[in-house]
Structure 1
């Protein structure tokens, strides 16, 4: 089996020594080539090249941003519609992700352990046993995502956190909590909800204040705790959407508290939840912060979402 390991050398929880250990372990199972990312977006190019070379497996060592770039690189290598046969997962290399970031939502949602040595051991076992699963992806305009997207407050919070990290702060639950409070109380227009959610042949949901889209559950983790606006979301189904109609202190606090429970998940007059959607569009009267898989992508006034079933084979 031919494989490519895409390494983010800036991954927060790995070192050069640990990378060497991983490479040796993988080479005991596969014919491995190691490629390092040099800049933002480089993993996309490396993954596409690997797919075009006809490798059987692409392994990532990095965080959720590296995984997102690799997935987009793989999907960009799909043959044209005329030449395509079968699902995307049947035409592309398999994917394995060794958790190397600060949160590793995608890997943990697949059931991999949080720490990279345990995650690598589980992947090696999966390779030996031929164990894999096929998952769907979400797509926002022309970019795929593995576990979540955000339009509004949560994306603005990520933008704040990224700014703090560039100034040398460490990504911690405390940093996210402080950033959330600052965004909510100091920078959000809580009186004038601006977002509409449009679905084919369905009434438009108007005056939404913020929207979270999930391709799986959980949405993210707070340390070891799952955060679940849409606990029924699944890699095996379409997309789930959670929205708040207003950002009032009482109703918002209640909904966020419900994120940490199990079924039925957040509920109430100010909550909108939609399950297993094939396609929908978010439209805003003013630009909204936008994020995919925890990466801030700027402001948008419109984003079209679609579910892509059976997109990737994952070793887990």
Structure 2
């Protein structure tokens, strides 16, 4: 089996020594080539090249941003023809994700342990046993995402966190909580909801303040604790949506408390939830912060979301 390991050398929870250990472990099972990212977006090109070379497996070492870039590279590659009319997931290399970031939502969502040594052991066992699962993806316009997207408040919070990290701050739950409070109270236009959600054949849902989209559950983690606005979201189904019609203090606090609970089931007059949705479009009368898989991508006034079923095989 031929494999490529795509390494983000800035991964927050691994060292050069641990990377060497990982490489030796993988080479005990596969014919491995190691490639390092040099800039944001580079992993897209590396994964696309690997798929075009006809490798069987692409392994990532990094956080959710590295995984997202590799997935986008695979999904936009032109691999050598395999098995004629085989499903998409069979034509592409399989994916394995070794957690190396601060949160690692995708790796944990497919059942891998949080720490990289234990996750590596599980991946090696999966390779020996031929164990994998097929997952669906989401797509926002022409870009794919693995576990979540956001339009509005949560994306603006991620932007704040990224700015803090560029100044040398460490990504911690407390940093996220402070960023949420600052964005909510100091920088959000909470009185004038501007987003409209449009679905084929359905009435539009207007005057939404912020929208969370999930391709699986959980949406994210606070340390070891799952955060689950849409607990029924699944890689095997379409996209799930939670939108808030208002960002009033009382109703927003109640909703956040609901999806932080042990048995989350957010509800109320200010909550819109959609389950297993194939496609929809978000349109805003003013630019909204936009994120995919925890990476801030700037502001948008319109984004079309679609579900891409059975898109990739994942070793886990």
Query: TM > 0.5 between the two?
Result: yes
TM superposition outliers: structure 1 runs of 4+ over 3 Å: none
Instruction: Give, in whole Å, the separation in 2 of the partners of 1:78 and 1:144.
Output: 16
Q: 1:285 to 1:262 in 2, by over 3 A?
A: same
Q: Which runs of 5+ in 2 are unaligned?
A: none
* Corresponding residue of 1:67: 67
How big is the shift at 1:86? 3.1
TM-score by length of 1: 0.98
Instruction: Give, in whole Å, the separation in 2 of the partners of 1:53 and 1:264.
Output: 44
How big is the shift at 1:157? 0.1
* Corresponding residue of 2:290: 290
2:211 matched to 1:211? Answer: yes
Instruction: Give, in whole Å, the separation in 2 of the partners of 1:88 and 1:188.
Output: 41
Instruction: Give, in whole Å, the separation in 2 of the partners of 1:230 and 1:126.
Output: 29
Which SS does the other structure have where 1:296 is aligned?
strand
Report if aligned partners of 2:282, 2:304 keep a CA contact under 8 Å in 1.
yes
Report if aligned partners of 2:53, 2:79 keep a CA contact under 8 Å in 1.
no
Instruction: Give, in whole Å, the separation in 2 of the partners of 1:183 and 1:259.
Output: 19
Instruction: Give, in whole Å, the separation in 1 of the partners of 2:229 and 2:298.
Output: 23
* Corresponding residue of 2:120: 120
Report if aligned partners of 1:239, 1:276 keep a CA contact under 8 Å in 2.
yes
* Corresponding residue of 1:48: 48
Residue correspondence of structure 1 range 54-133 to structure 2 within 5 A: 54-78=54-78, 85-133=85-133
* Corresponding residue of 1:239: 239
Instruction: Give, in whole Å, the separation in 1 of the partners of 2:78 and 2:118.
Output: 32
Q: 1:41 to 1:182 in 2, by over 3 A?
A: same
CA RMSD between the two structures? 1.4
* Corresponding residue of 2:250: 250
Instruction: Give, in whole Å, the separation in 2 of the partners of 1:208 and 1:312.
Output: 32
TM-score by length of 2: 0.98
2:164 matched to 1:171? Answer: no
Report if aligned partners of 2:51, 2:79 keep a CA contact under 8 Å in 1.
no
